[in-house]
Amino acid sequence: MRPKRRLRIAALTTIYHKYSHSQHIVDRFLEGYGWEGRHYRPEIDVVAMYVEQVGANDLSRERASRHPELKLYPTIREALTCGGRELAVDGVLLIGEHGNYPVNEKGQTLYPRYEYFRQIVDVYRRSGKTAPVFNDKHLSWSWEHAREMYDTARELGFGFMAGSSLPVTWRQPAIDLPWGERVEEAVGIWNGWLDGGDIHVLEALQSIVERRRGGETGVRWVEALRGDRFWKAMEAGTWAGGGWDRRLMEAALSRSNQLQSPRETYSNAFPTLSDLRRAAPESYAYRFEYMDGLRASIIQFRGAVVGDCNVAARLANGRQFSTMFYLPYSTMRNFFSPQVHHIETLFRTGVSPYPVERTLLTTGMTAAGVDSLYQQGKRLDTPHLQIRYRSTRHSTFWRT
């Protein structure tokens, strides 16, 4: 029996320093990670790396010196061809997160994921062959770029996987929405930031609601709320009143391991609405109506309210679902481990373990939310987000 060939992959990154996404992901392919009670080492070699911005805290040079199979290249094309003329790798990590990049008038950091992707595709077309691609976080800050990336991957027929680590990290409790359940409304909360933080909450929420009866149908419209409109929506406490179901928000807050007490000498006091306003005056929210009537909101508490991501949903007959997406912020950042495990599956099978359409949709939802916020909370119709897909029936988040 022939031994299993070790796959060769390339990493294309904006920057490579400690605690960057590149370091978290690529290091796990280089050195392995803890998995089910042992230190697991993928049978994959990172043979080529392109790093766009190299600063005093760069780690890519040290990694290349420690791992002789790894070579650094000055361009994306050379990394993908390993200095030759044709594609010479079996998979590609596209990690365009962190680094010094422009910020547009809407507050979006213009990370060059789309530009990297186009260079990857250029090598594929010239070589007449392709390899699976993993794209970290959302596809792009631009909906048009994201749609082109998705369509191109389908045209050329290569495996394409993307998204946040939140959908596959541990949950407390370790539950998933029952397959085919009826969902009426959902709320996701965090203390994230515009665009790059929004995608994390939307990915978490979407990984839950996409399992509902009938599958995903896409989003009809979005409305952003900030300032007085946000706090009026909070006080309304209902979707019909222009806000969200307060019971769902409170359920999400109650799942938190990092809920900040509003009173200094108490550990478990629950915040009132006035407490929330005092602690996080710059908070904002996005409200979405889906094509099948589902209503969903994400709330970004910009202040000392909550430190983790939590989602709650109201099911048929008034039942509730709620869970916390566990992100252990220790030095190891182990929530990247299940994501890397799924990336390895992509590289080995050529098929994403979960639908990339999720991240196509959440990319569009993020961009639409930012646009609405930029337009002073104008409700925006989103006919381009009528994206239909079905999730995997089996759960893909990690449980051990």
The per-residue pLDDT for range 107-145, each reduced to its tens digit, is 999 999 999 999 999 999 999 999 999 999 999 999 999
- Percentage of residues in the chain having pLDDT higher than 90: 96
13: CB partners within 8 A, 6+ apart:
20, 22, 26, 49, 50, 51, 52, 60, 93, 95, 96
| 397 falls within a domain | no
Mean of per-residue pLDDT scores for the chain: 97
173 and 143 housed in the same domain:
no
Note the pTM of the prediction, 2 decimals: 0.97
CATH number where 158 lies:
3.40.50.720
Residue 2 has pLDDT above 60, yes or no: no
31 and 158 housed in the same domain:
yes
Domain boundary among 107, 141, 163: 163
**Residue carrying the six token digits 């950042």:** 333
| 352 falls within a domain | no
3: CB partners within 8 A, 6+ apart:
none
175 and 218 housed in the same domain:
yes
Residue 309: exposure state from Cβ atoms within 10 A (0-12, 13-18, ≥19): buried
218 and 159 housed in the same domain:
no
90 and 158 housed in the same domain:
yes
Pairing mode of beta strands 284-290, 295-300: antiparallel
| 336 falls within a domain | no
Mean pLDDT value of segment 160-184: 98
249: CB partners within 8 A, 6+ apart:
187, 189, 299, 312
Mean pLDDT value of segment 327-348: 92
80 and 222 housed in the same domain:
no
- What is the Cα–Cα distance from 353 to 336, expressed in whole angstroms? 15
pLDDT of residue 174: 98
Domain boundary among 144, 163, 182: 163
Confidence of residue 268 (pLDDT cuts 50, 70, 90): confident
259 and 125 housed in the same domain:
no
| 341 falls within a domain | no
| 138 falls within a domain | yes
| Tens of pLDDT, residues 222-254 | 999 999 999 999 999 999 999 999 999 999 999
| Tens of pLDDT, residues 180-189 | 999 999 999 9
CATH number where 257 lies:
3.30.360
| 42 falls within a domain | yes
Confidence of residue 61 (pLDDT cuts 50, 70, 90): very high
CA distances from 308 to 197, 275, 286, 375 (A): 12, 18, 18, 28
- What is the Cα–Cα distance from 203 to 165, expressed in whole angstroms? 9
Domain boundary among 112, 139, 163: 163
39 and 147 housed in the same domain:
yes
Residue type, 167: P
145 and 176 housed in the same domain:
no
| Tens of pLDDT, residues 340-361 | 999 999 999 999 999 999 999 9
Residue 5 has pLDDT above 90, yes or no: no
179 and 95 housed in the same domain:
no
User: 74 near 5, Cβ under 8 Å?
Assistant: no
Mean pLDDT value of segment 353-375: 99
| 393 falls within a domain | no
The range of the structural domain enclosing residue 54 comes to 7-163
Per the document, the length of the chain is 400
Pairing mode of beta strands 7-15, 91-95: parallel
Confidence of residue 333 (pLDDT cuts 50, 70, 90): confident
| 194 falls within a domain | yes
Confidence of residue 1 (pLDDT cuts 50, 70, 90): very low
Q: Which residues pair with 72 in a beta bridge?
A: 49
Residue 4 has pLDDT above 90, yes or no: no
Q: Which residues pair with 11 in a beta bridge?
A: 49, 93
| Tens of pLDDT, residues 72-115 | 999 999 999 999 999 999 999 999 999 999 999 999 999 999 99
Residue 215 has pLDDT above 60, yes or no: yes
197 and 93 housed in the same domain:
no
Confidence of residue 336 (pLDDT cuts 50, 70, 90): very high
User: 70 near 31, Cβ under 8 Å?
Assistant: no
111 and 182 housed in the same domain:
no
Q: What is the CA radius of gyration of the chain?
A: 21
Domain count, the chain: 2
Residue 338 has pLDDT above 60, yes or no: yes
